[in-house]
Amino acid sequence: MLHAFSYVAPRSLDELLAFLSSHGDDTRVFSGGTDLFVNIRSGLVSPQYVADLKTVPGLREISFTGQEGLSIGACATVNELLAHETVCERYPVLRIAGEELATLQLRNRATVVGNIVTASPCGDMTSPLLCLGTDVVLVSARGERRIPLGEFITGVKTTQIAADEIVSRLIVSTDRIDASGGYRKLKRIKGHDLGVVAVALVRAANTMLVAISSAAPTPVLLPEFDARTPVAEIQKSAQAAISPIDDVRCTSEYRRFMVDVYIRRLMEEVPA
Amino acid sequence: MIRITVTINGERYEREVAEHRTLLHFLRNDLGLTGTKEGCGAGECGACTIIMDGRAVNSCLVLAAEADGAELETIEGAAAGGELSAIQQAFHDNHAVQCGFCTPGMVMSATDLLRRNPNPSREEIIDGIEGNFCRCTGYQQIIEAIEAAARAAGAAAGKGSDHA
């Protein structure tokens, strides 16, 4: 059972933003609801209003232009991203990581933007998007702002989003377009578990990007490496950047160990 | 309360529903369509799987209000005219049912899978039911049932040849 709340189905972006201007503090905005309704059910959050982004036209689009890059609208589901030809061909790391996210039923509802806004330390889309270079576009009745993904997420489940704002879309840069990539996620059961630890690697022409999930309060992007950097150096950089904890899923020590294993494996298996 | 109109297994329903009502509870408690099961209620187990506008979803994590205007398929629609569907028959023939609680969700996921991919490999079947828990059978009979249903559909299509 969910507590009694009001369902808001805005017919336009202006209508939604006007509503959030006055009721933002009492409202949770959602699209897939795969996190929100779990959190409401467990009593973690108890908003007075839930506002459905899906009834706002124009927020579902995934589009690509050579100038701007890849734009992923707030309501685009993970499975819609996986079915997108440009994504599969030109941003392969997004496809590989997206396939690791939850289950088919959840991917049919869960959105890429929701995975970012939830700001979980183990978000599957965050690490690959950090490697590719991604900006978050926020809109409110006050206007629009665009901030880098690494700055948008500020801690465990916290972001820079204000109560009257929504994330309208993500913009993935063209900097690492056509770069090969890989994503390795440790979990106990396919689909039914949060990641224990995960590593994303993107190899562009002369550079290499590595990001790590579930090993610090937020996913961590390592500084850009030269393509010929030895494995040991990247592992050393990773160990200095992460701060894993002991928890119900595994120990800090095991997380550190598996980060090194995955960095080595990804460097072996992702073509230069 | 909010007024919604949904089409379920081809039949149109118009109802007043509480705004915080999940689609699962709307189906089960308001409409009496109790074939769809509630397991975890949190999107983990897949017992509540239905097909909404052509996509398999966990109905425990959808609001009834969101389904306004939607086309839903539930397990009650599988046995058209009282005849088991090919997938239901295959589950029966292959002993893919033990306690039966996961079965409606499994059948809906299998239905969705075979529509997208009429001739899936064993690996693809395992991926297709990744969102559905079974705590009795160990999955083997369920996988075999879906393989059998795919073969039966292939044979019924008049091909008779094995594409696998």
* pLDDT one-digit tens code per residue, B53-93: 999 999 999 999 999 999 999 999 999 889 999 999 999 99
- Average pLDDT on A77-101 reads 96
Instruction: Assess whether B109 and B54 both reside in one domain.
Output: no
pLDDT at B164: 44
- The residue from B56, B77, B98 where one domain ends is B77
Within a domain: B125:
yes
Among residues B44, B77, B110, which one ends one of the domains?
A: B77
Q: What is the CATH number of the domain that holds B119?
A: 1.10.150.120
Q: Can you tell me whether residue A21 is helix, strand or coil?
A: helix
Q: Find, among A154, A122, A117, the residue nearest to A136 by Cα.
A: A117
CB contacts of A3 in chain B (<8 Å) are: 20
Determine the structural domain holding residue B26 and report its residue range. 2-77
Strand partners, A70: A64, A172
* Domain co-membership, B104 together with B140: yes
B83-139 residue pLDDT tens: 999 999 999 999 999 999 999 999 999 999 999 999 999 999 999 999 999 999 889
Q: What is the mean pLDDT of residues A228-252?
A: 95
Write down which residue in B10, B45, B77 finishes a domain. B77
A104 contacts B109? CB cut-off 8 A: yes
Q: pLDDT-derived band of residue B27, with 50, 70 and 90 as boundaries?
A: very high
Same domain for B70 and B90: no
Q: Is B32 left (phi over 0), alpha (psi -120 to 50) or beta?
A: left
pLDDT digits (tens, 9 = 90+) for A111-143: 999 999 999 998 999 999 999 999 999 999 999
Extended beta strands in B48-163, E state: 49-52, 55-58, 71-73
Q: Which of A6, A104, A111 to mutate to test the interface with B (most CBs of B within 10 A)?
A: A104
Backbone angles phi, psi at A223, to 5 degrees: -60, 150
Contacts of B20 in chain A (CB under 8 A): 2-5, 7
Indicate yes or no: CB of A109 within 8 angstroms of CB of B62: yes
- CATH architecture of the domain covering A6-51: 2-Layer Sandwich (3.30)
> How buried is B160 (Cβ within 10 angstroms: 0-12 exposed, 13-18 middle, 19+ buried)?
exposed
Q: Collect all residues with Cβ–Cβ distance below 8 Å to A80 and sequence separation of at least 6.
A: A60, A62
User: Do B53 and B90 have their domain in common?
Assistant: no
ipTM of the complex, rounded to two decimals:
0.94
CATH topology assigned to domain A180-269: Enolase-like; domain 1 (3.30.390)
Do both B6 and B67 map to the same domain? yes
Q: Does the domain made of A62-172 have the CATH classification 3.30.465.10? A: yes
pLDDT at B159: 56
Q: Looking at CA atoms only, how far is residue B58 from chain A in angstroms?
A: 6
How many contacts does A have with B, using Cβ atoms within 8 A? 79
Q: Are residues B149 and B89 in the same domain?
A: yes
Q: Where are the domains of chain A?
A: 6-51, 62-172, 180-269
pLDDT at A192: 59
Interface check for B44 against chain A (CB to CB < 8 A): the answer is yes
Q: Do residues B34 and B84 share a domain?
A: no
Nearest to residue B63, comparing CAs of A41, A24, A165, A76? A41
* Mean of pLDDT values over A100-113: 96
Quick check: is B49 in a domain? yes
Position A98: which residue type? G
Average pLDDT over residues A207-212: 97
Are B63 and A104 an interchain contact pair (Cβ–Cβ within 8 Å)?
no
- Among the listed residues A243, A225, A241, A244, the one whose alpha carbon sits nearest the alpha carbon of residue A233: A225
Q: Do B88 and B140 belong together in one domain?
A: yes
Cα-to-chain-centroid distance, residue B84 = 14
Task: Label residue A99 by pLDDT band (50, 70, 90).
Answer: very high
B51 close to A (CB below 8 A):
no
CB contact under 8 A, A4 and B133: no
